Structure 1
């Protein structure tokens, strides 16, 4: 069975991007899904001095092993001032020190959402350009603008039918690539 690791690039306990990831994986059958809540995974701010002095936390090594075992990644990035969050960038900095190509030949379904009309497009764009440096294949991208208007936490669904169709199209294409892999 193909394995997918799924998470949001946010460490907020109330992350709307984590809500989008949970919704997305609820639509997936016949895959082994590992859903990670990054609010439970604190990492210190990356520093080469700390890396030399303390090495790598066990949780980071285990996360890298999870990536090694996964066939694909579902990721939703949050946006701070037009960029991915400092938490997400810090996570990438740490894990790429363990293995530069930690996403080698992994398909990534990249998403993002925000309360605003741009739907985290700045963070998505930066991440879409960054992840291939680590070996990722980012071919499926989805943005959900105005999260509170277009998503119902009560029913755990995208309520805008056009956006729901686009999300499903991107998800199905991503899953199809994993099946063929």
Structure 2
């Protein structure tokens, strides 16, 4: 049985370094694991209980919930916007938190990592994302952390998948999350 890890990226920008980091994670998944990059966060309307009606949930939100329900764990990649989590990622978490107490991520292991331009690599945004995921019912893995600073300079001419330090750290993150998702990582 393979462990499915759903990856959500909090940046919509085509050249996003966090998206590149997520693409690297897809390639680095260990044997027995699959990292699936979810597309379509931009199409999900802002969460509103009035449109979260059973049988009539907006299609993009329903696809997100279905993808999360089918995952064994989640891996969130977040940049830092004005010292906090991007709206698109927070909105995804809000949709995944419902129905209250029985959302698609309830009890699932969730790790939050990312890269940002600043000297701390987006730790404030990552902390905010962990907080939101915890309230949403996810089992936040607090000790899985990866904050890569200086993204604009570090990845100006190098894809994260070609940075040996990043590859080593990202592989460790995925391997640990894989193990926590219910199946020991292959050696």
Q: TM-score, normalised by structure 1?
A: 0.82
Aligned residues: 178
Q: Which moved more, 1:62-71 or 1:5-14?
A: 5-14
Greater helix content: 1
* 1:27 equivalent in alignment to 2:28: yes
Whether the 8 Å CA contact 1:78–1:85 is kept in 2: the answer is yes
Report the counterpart of residue 97 of structure 2 in structure 1: 96
**RMSD of aligned residue pairs (Cα, Å):** 2.7
Report the counterpart of residue 172 of structure 1 in structure 2: 175
Paired with 2:149 and 2:161, the residues of 1 have a C-alpha distance of 14
Report the counterpart of residue 109 of structure 1 in structure 2: 111
The aligned runs of 1:71-82 (5 Å cut-off) are 71-82=72-83
Whether the 8 Å CA contact 2:25–2:35 is kept in 1: the answer is no
Q: How far does residue 138 in structure 1 lie from its aligned partner after superposition?
A: 2.1
The aligned runs of 1:94-173 (5 Å cut-off) are 94-98=95-99, 100=101, 101-139=103-141, 140-151=144-155, 154-157=158-161, 159=163, 161=165, 164-173=167-176
Structure 1 portions without partners, runs of 5+: none
Report the counterpart of residue 68 of structure 1 in structure 2: 69
Structure 2 portions without partners, runs of 5+: none
Paired with 1:150 and 1:119, the residues of 2 have a C-alpha distance of 11
Q: SS in structure 2 opposite 1:4?
A: strand
Could you say if the C-alpha distance between residues 111 and 24 of structure 1 is closer, same or farther in structure 2, counting changes exceeding 3 Å? Answer: same
Could you say if the C-alpha distance between residues 50 and 153 of structure 1 is closer, same or farther in structure 2, counting changes exceeding 3 Å? Answer: farther
